[in-house]
Amino acid sequence: MITQKEIAERLGISRTTVARAINGSPLIKEETKRKILELVKETNYEKNYVGSSLGTRKSKKVYSLVVESKNEFYTQEILRGIKIISEEYKAYNYKIDIKTTDINDPKKQIKELKEILKKEDIDGLIITPLDRDSVFKILEPYLDKIKVISLGIRLNKNIPHVGPDHQKQGEIAAGLMSNLLRDGEKVLIIDNGDDKVSSKLYLDGFMNRISRASLTIEGPIDGGGIEKSVELLKERLKKGDIKGLYINRYSHDILDRIEKKELTGIKIVTNGIGKIIKKLIKERIITLTVMEEISSEGYTAGKRMFEMLYKEKVFKGHCDVSKSHIILYENLED
């Protein structure tokens, strides 16, 4: 019988991509999926659960504490990735119970975590730790009993982690901004603080790279939140000397409240993605955005947990960094 590895070798792709196509994952391109499934049919490949010792193992229960961001798209994509891997591996009695907590309420997450740890059926935990020190202190006595993976925010150097390099993404955004502008042109940078996941790191990376460009830098200026940032930006745009704009947090909400004519001729670069950012790119207000593979982060965290629980793989200190993508009008997908 042909194996997934042999199918992958024939097509010059990874075994993971083959497995995703066979399991019906939407995380690969339709053209790639079509080629894989055609070869699967030609070679009479049969998915074999019974032949694997994994299929007969007892069920494993994983709890996932995912944060609810103001950017609903981010939250939904993380959840989508986790649900996809849970569905793909359900034949192995692998179950993921997802719970969400507000990104601005670390105390509630701590309370939820303590309740989860009381459960007798817990085998693993996937968590985006809002208060890293407190979360690790609570989890430390349980690390010999349950498997833990951090998602989005790194918990500890000894705990497996899945997430993007937010600082690098900020650097990429700044590098692209410097290429969009002429020497000496002015870039306005508005800082709306730390969301405990990405915004501070985005800004750190952006400033690290943009400071080396031959541009005039104004900021980072404290935005003071969405409404104050809107007023600040409107006043600043009246001077007419701003050629580039970067906002590390709430950019979509702020830009959506500004008249398009006021932003004409300004190169706007952002980090992240969502419905409003997509709309603003379509309207040619945002020039481009740098984003990570959000759903693949949830998917990868669930997969790594499966490998730890069922295959006894060790990922101590391991870090899966998701790829960065540059999205602009020309390659924007609905």
The pLDDT, as a whole number, for residue 212 is: 96
Residues of the chain with pLDDT under 50: 49-53, 55-56
Q: Given this model, what pLDDT does residue 157 score?
A: 92
Q: Is 47 helix (H, G, I), strand (E, B) or coil?
A: coil
**pLDDT value of residue 50:** 39
pTM: 0.76
pLDDT score of 48: 52
Nearest to 206 by CA among 181, 166, 173, 163: 173
DSSP SS3 for 71 = coil
Residue type, 214: S
Query: Which positions ≥6 away from 2 have C-beta within 8 Å?
Result: 43, 44, 45
pLDDT value, residue 200: 96
238, with CB counted inside 10 A (0-12, 13-18, 19+), is exposed
Do residues 278 and 308 lie in contact, with contact meaning Cβ atoms separated by under 8 Å? no
Pairing of strands 324-328, 288-292: antiparallel
Q: b or e along 110-121 (b: 16 or more beta carbons within 10 Å of the residue's beta carbon)?
A: bebbeebbeeee
Residue 105 is predicted with a pLDDT of 93
Q: Render the burial of 65-96: b for 16+ CB within 10 Å, e for the rest.
A: bbbbbbbebbbebbbbbbbbbbebbeebebeb
66 dihedral zone (left: phi>0; alpha: psi -120 to 50; beta): beta
Q: What is the pLDDT of residue 163?
A: 92
